[in-house]
């Protein structure tokens, strides 16, 4: 198992001393976090521990008060994510889903995916108005791509249905596929198993592995469902009160007294 | 094979439509009866009570009630029938049949998804017939009707423009009339001071409105919802006040003598009109300049429809839709929120500018009272009542809202009351608007399979 100091070129994301203060509340306190390329890493912790805040820092919705966030789109290239706008961060390869599903409800499933292809398309205003051959070809290529993506992940049947009319499990899945359509290097999933039953959670487990292997990307997960966390993760970070209190492979985390204390309280 | 696929799935749908309608006939009648009762109840004072001016007493005209009831009942039935037919033949409702690619054998690497535009072949025919009909209108109606129709067309244009901002992008704009005013004043001033012609001012008016749309867009980028509405409301008032108080706009007295659009310098009324009137092809009091404006507006509305439709189903339009649906998710999809908002505002304003130029040339005299807040509300009502984000909806909404007050003139004092009542009723019974928006359907067209 990979523990201890990682080789730099294996990293895809590394934060150093990330803190964020809202008024008097320290939501994140000196978070050091590393993520290996093509790995599945999980962030767990009690409610209010700062997991989603950390996600929001990574994706540019919040700007950390201090600290650095380094992102390696390729092993040789380093980009700082501090101060970049959310759409820019998506464009350079970090895609996310949301804790409470945020689909484009009144658009069709296929359109949801097409929107995610936005940054890979070029057509501007004139292209839209004149529909020249280049624009038409691009539209068609993207529709084909979107459909093939839906087909791969079992949503092709509902391609023309409005997103809000999908069953809950499919909505979760669509949100993940939509994130995939932005062609991310890192996929950030915020509580993907929330509201799913046992069987659906098991499917999700397989689904996350499938995505990782097929799309060759790294997955960062926030999750409360321990069975999913323990089975799918390669590395687990535990947060409490805005701090990282433990990190390591799942089997070590399970035995860590600090983690047990955080979850079950003091004896 | 690929084309057959969509056709095959349409025919059975059509056949079963009538039978399905008659199967639910009792339900339809019930619904129509309820609607009739409501209508009679609501219009009771209007229909049955009349104050007799001579005797100062109320006359009760109960014998009118059954007539109104029958008309309402039949109208409701026809309306429901047409609506059902519309939604039935509509791609949305036959989605399960057409959208799912035919089961497994048709899927495959050779398949391709293409957009299925709503303009199916027979619909194109209808459109051409409708257009042919519209073109003949000025040749058999009175000048008054042409004036009303021009107004209706201008409002269609305004409605479609505002629809980009409000319906598609979800940015509530209560100051849309400001851009309309800017278009009108651009033409009025340039024509008045420099004698520039309509055709030069048309793009200039649009450009000015677009620029102002961009300028207004900048400070409101961080706002949304109610706050945005209030800022745009303020902007509309600022423009009106500037027009009222500035010297160069001639203040409240406005600008008169604006030239109508020319056609290669031909004096239409002197040359073409006698010819047409002699052939009994035109009303003798018709002003051919107005007829020209009618045709210009008709062309403009057609172009607007094409543009808005294309925009809506493009990369840019989808970015606007995403912005309307969820701003946070929209950004998470890599869409630049700032850019999307600005373009929506600017492009929406362009159409107001175009409509403004035509408006100025139509009434030849403009002053700030043409561009009050009520106008903004009117245009917004067109969008909301017609159906947010729906092109046919906005067109129907504009026609209803501009023609209705005209045809309600018969009701004299009750005109605006009835108008308000109809709006309330429409919103109660069809909160989504007259014609709700539907999304473009993509159909999978499998390529020819080489296998037997």
Least confident range of A69-78, A225-234, B61-70:
B61-70
Same domain, A23 and A87: yes
Distance from CA of A130 to the nearest CA of B (A): 8
Residue A98 falls inside a structural domain: no
Do B314 and A139 make contact, defined as CB atoms within 8 angstroms? Answer: yes
> What confidence score (pLDDT) does residue B17 get?
63
Percentage with pLDDT > 70 across chain A: 96
Reference A101, options B13, B361, B332; nearest CA is B332
* Single residue among A122, A145, A180 that ends a domain in this structure: A180
Answer yes or no: do A193 and A165 share one domain.
Answer: no
Same domain, A139 and A243: no
Render pLDDT for B338-387 as a digit per residue (tens, 0 to 9). Answer: 889 999 999 999 999 999 999 999 988 898 988 988 889 889 988 988 88
φ/ψ of residue A43, rounded to 5:
-115, 120
Q: What's the gap in Å between the CA of B98 and the closest CA on chain A?
A: 9
Q: Is residue A260 part of a domain?
A: yes
Mean pLDDT, to the nearest integer, of B165-176?
90
Residue B444 with chain A: CB contacts under 8 Å: 147, 159
Please give the structure tokens belonging to residue A161.
Answer: 């249905």
Does A2 map to a domain? no
As a whole number of angstroms, the distance between CA A128 and CA B234 comes to 32
Of A180, A198, A221, the position where a domain reaches its end is: A180
Cβ contacts of A147 on chain B, cutoff 8 Å: 113, 442, 444
Q: Is residue A99 part of a domain?
A: no
Which residues does residue A267 pair with via DSSP β-bridges, in sequence order? none
A136 within some domain: yes
Residue B114 CA to residue B27 CA, distance in Å, equals 39
In CATH, what number is assigned to the domain containing residue A37? 3.40.50.300
- pLDDT at residue number B411: 67
Ramachandran angles phi, psi of B118, nearest 5°: -65, -25
Of A105, A119, A161, the CB nearest to B325: A105
Helices (H), chain A: 51-58, 86-91, 109-116, 125-130, 133-152, 168-180, 198-215, 226-232, 250-255, 257-264
Do residue A89 and residue A187 come from a single domain? Answer: yes
Cα(A263)–Cα(B311) distance, rounded to whole angstroms? 52
The whole-number pLDDT of residue A97 equals: 93
Return the pLDDT at A53: 92
**How wide is the angle at C-alpha A71 spanned by C-alphas A68 and A73, nearest 5°?**
165
CB contact set of B261 (below 8 Å; sequence gap of 6+): B197, B198, B199, B289, B292, B293, B296, B361
- Examine the domain organization and report whether A171 and A198 are in the same domain: no
Would you list which residues of chain B are within 8 Å, Cβ to Cβ, of chain A? 95, 99-101, 107, 112-115, 307, 310-311, 314-319, 321-322, 325-326, 328-337, 343, 347, 439-442, 444
Is B332 close to A124, i.e. CB distance below 8 A?
no
Average pLDDT on B218-235 reads 84
Structural domain boundaries enclosing A123: 104-180
Q: How many contacts, defined by CB atoms under 8 Å, are there between A and B?
A: 138
For A115, which of B107, B310, B333 is closest by C-beta distance? Answer: B333
Mean pLDDT of the B11-30 span: 65
Average pLDDT, integer, range A192-197: 88
Chain B residue numbers with beta carbons less than 8 Å from the beta carbon of A106 are 325, 439
Please, what are the domains in chain B?
2-98 (no CATH), 122-441 (1.10.3470)
> Cα B114 vs. chain centroid, distance in angstroms?
28
What is the reported pLDDT for B159?
Answer: 94
pLDDT, position A196: 87
Q: What is the mean pLDDT of residues B178-196?
A: 91
Same domain membership, residue A129 and residue A239: no
pLDDT of residue B85: 66
Question: If DSSP codes are grouped into helix, strand and coil, which group holds residue A79?
Answer: strand
Nearest CB among B112, B316, B333 relative to A116 is that of B333
- B247 has a pLDDT exceeding 60: yes
Paired residues of A186 in beta bridges:
A94, A218
Examine the domain organization and report whether A66 and A134 are in the same domain. no
Do A18 and A74 lie in one domain? The reply is yes
Q: Is residue A217 part of a domain?
A: yes
Q: Which of A92, A103, A128 to mutate to test the interface with B (most CBs of B within 10 A)?
A: A128
Name the more confident of B111 and A101: A101
* Total number of domains constituting chain A: 2
pLDDT in tens, B350-364: 999 999 999 999 988
**What is the average pLDDT score of chain B?**
79
């Amino acid at each position: 198992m990979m523990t201890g100091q990682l080789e730099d070129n294996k990293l895809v994301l590394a934060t150093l001393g990330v803190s964020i203060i809202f008024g008097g509340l320290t939501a994140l306190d000196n978070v050091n976090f590393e993520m290996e390329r093509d790995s599945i890493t999980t962030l767990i912790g009690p409610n209010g521990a700062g997991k989603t805040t950390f996600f929001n820092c990574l994706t540019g919705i919040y700007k950390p008060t201090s600290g650095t966030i380094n992102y390696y789109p390729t092993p040789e290239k380093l980009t700082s994510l501090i101060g970049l706008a959310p759409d820019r961060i998506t464009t350079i390869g970090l895609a996310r889903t949301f804790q409470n599903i945020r689909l484009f409800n009144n658009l069709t499933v296929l359109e949801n995916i097409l929107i995610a292809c936005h940054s890979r398309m070029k057509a501007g205003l004139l292209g839209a108005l004149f529909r020249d051959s280049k624009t038409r070809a691009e539209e068609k290529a993207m529709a084909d791509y979107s459909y093939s993506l839906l087909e791969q992940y079992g949503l092709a049947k509902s391609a023309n249905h409005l997103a809000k009319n999908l069953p809950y499990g499919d909505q979760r899945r669509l949100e993940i596929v939509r994130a995939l359509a932005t062609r991310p290097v890192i996929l950030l999933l915020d509580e993907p198993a929330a509201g799913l039953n046992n069987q659906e959670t098991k499917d999700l487990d397989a689904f996350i592995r499938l995505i990782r292997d097929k799309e060759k990307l790294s997955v960062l997960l926030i999750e409360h469902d321990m069975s999913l966390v323990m089975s799918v993760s390669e590395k687990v970070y535990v947060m409490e009160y805005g701090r990282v209190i433990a990190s390591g492979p799942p089997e070590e985390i399970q035995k860590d007294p600090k983690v047990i204390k955080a979850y079950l309280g003091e004896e | 094979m690929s084309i057959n696929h969509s056709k095959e799935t349409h025919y059975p749908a059509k056949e079963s439509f009538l039978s399905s309608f008659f199967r639910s006939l009792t339900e339809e009648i019930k619904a129509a009866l309820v609607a009739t009762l409501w209508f009679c109840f609501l219009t009771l004072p209007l229909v049955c009570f009349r104050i007799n001016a001579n005797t100062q007493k109320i006359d009760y005209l109960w014998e009118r009630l059954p007539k109104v009831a029958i008309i309402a009942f039949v109208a409701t039935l026809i309306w429901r029938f047409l609506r059902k037919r519309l939604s039935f033949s509509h791609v949305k409702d036959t989605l399960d049949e057409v959208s799912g690619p035919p089961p497994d054998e048709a899927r495959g690497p050779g398949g391709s998804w293409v957009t299925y535009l709503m303009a199916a072949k027979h619909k194109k025919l209808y459109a051409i017939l409708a257009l042919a009909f519209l073109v003949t209108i000025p040749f058999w109606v009175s000048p008054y009707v042409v004036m009303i129709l021009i107004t209706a067309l201008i409002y269609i244009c305004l409605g479609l423009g505002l629809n980009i901002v409000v319906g598609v992008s979800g940015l509530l704009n209560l100051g849309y009339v400001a851009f309309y005013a800017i278009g009108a004043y651009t033409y009025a001033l340039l024509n008045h001071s420099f004698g520039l012609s309509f055709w030069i001012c048309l793009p200039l008016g649009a450009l000015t409105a677009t620029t102002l749309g961009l300028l207004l867009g900048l400070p409101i980028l961080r706002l949304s919802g109610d706050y945005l509405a209030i800022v745009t409301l303020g902007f509309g008032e600022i423009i009106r006040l500037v027009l009222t108080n500035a010297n160069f706009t001639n203040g409240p007295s406005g600008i008169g003598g604006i030239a109508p659009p020319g056609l290669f310098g031909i004096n239409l009324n002197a040359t073409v009109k006698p010819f047409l009137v002699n052939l009994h092809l035109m009303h003798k009091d018709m002003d051919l300049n107005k007829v020209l404006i009618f045709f210009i507006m008709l062309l403009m509305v057609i172009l607007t429809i094409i543009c808005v439709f294309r925009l809506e189903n493009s990369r840019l339009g989808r970015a606007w839709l995403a912005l309307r649906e969820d701003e946070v998710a929209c950004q998470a999809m890599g869409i630049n929120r700032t850019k999307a908002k600005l373009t929506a505002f600017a492009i929406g304003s362009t159409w107001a500018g175009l409509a403004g130029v035509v408006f100025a040339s139509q009434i030849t005299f403009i002053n700030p009272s043409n561009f009050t807040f009520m106008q903004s509300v009117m245009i917004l009502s067109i969008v909301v009542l017609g159906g947010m984000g729906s092109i046919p909806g906005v067109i129907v909404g504009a026609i209803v809202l501009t023609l209705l007050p005209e045809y309600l003139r018969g009701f004299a004092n009750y005109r605006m009351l009835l108008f308000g009542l109809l709006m309330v009723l429409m919103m109660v019974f069809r909160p989504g608007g007259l014609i709700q928006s539907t999304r473009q359907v993509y159909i999978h067209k499998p390529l020819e399979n080489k296998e037997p």
